[in-house]
Amino acid sequence: MLKQFSYKQFGNLVFSERALAENYLSTIDEHIKILFIPKSAIIQVDFQKFAMETDALLFINPKVVLKPCQTVDGQLIHFNRDFYCVEIHDKEVACDGILYNNVFEVPFIALNESQSVKIQSILKEVRWEMENEDASTEEMLRTLLKLIILKSIRIWKQQHQLAANDQQGDVQFLRRFSKLVEQHFKTRHSVADYAELLFVTPKNLSKKIGLLSKSTPNDIIKDRIILESKRLLAHTNMTVKEIAHSLNYEDDAYFIRFFTKNTGVSPVSFRKQF
């Protein structure tokens, strides 16, 4: 079900192989998404499959390719930036860069039984609002959406042991680095580039990220470039040379070597898989 409030769009649907019409997800490709996934479900996010060990929430940026594999009773909320702009609204709730610009990991929020019950209760309210529209429906949906985000960011911080006040500096630094990589990975490829933007030395940047992630800053930047390369190879008709240039590689031969070294297959061989 999709609601339209002028240019603002908000939708809610059952996420399963049986319930989803073929290619429906491609029609909301530009929407920001929140997916509730029940325990034991299997889903594919871009090029990785995940089996859920608990109920979970997944926060999904536009262009991320999502696919139910073995999923029953999943719930997908989707909305456009006119309805709720993550970049603007998340500054109000202090969670920008963790759920939707987190380059460290696929942003799953594992839910224990109590947390899952609370989230499902909010999702039930969302469905009720969708089915019983009145003058306050738009604002109620936006409030419920913000409530899910606020609860999720609180859980994420607890799970990553970043809830204490004395660790807020680490959280802020993680956010800023994540956001910068998401904004600049097409044009800035080196650790020194991001160290400069963050006003620290490359060594200090690596040390700070090492407190929060098993991956090095270089790995994080490289992985984001590879992910974008895979998306363009699998889901567009751009040539390898065009993809290389779009990612600021003037020498497409260098890009081919870079891709092959980090994936084990050439760009052309990867594309043939799709």
Dist CA 162 CA 119 (whole Å): 21
Per-residue pLDDT, 159: 79
Per-residue pLDDT, 94: 46
Asked whether 205 and 198 are in contact (CB, 8 A), the reply is yes
Tell me, yes or no, if the pTM score tops 0.95: no
Per-residue pLDDT, 127: 93
Per-residue pLDDT, 164: 53
**pLDDT beneath 70: ranges in the chain:** 19, 21-22, 86-98, 101-106, 160-168, 170-171, 212
Per-residue pLDDT, 49: 86
φ, ψ for residue 225, nearest 5 deg: -65, -45
Q: Which of 91, 90, 108, 219 is nearest to 159 (CA)?
A: 108
Per-residue pLDDT, 22: 63
Dist CA 90 CA 99 (whole Å): 10
Q: Which of 4, 136, 9 is nearest to 85 (CA)?
A: 9
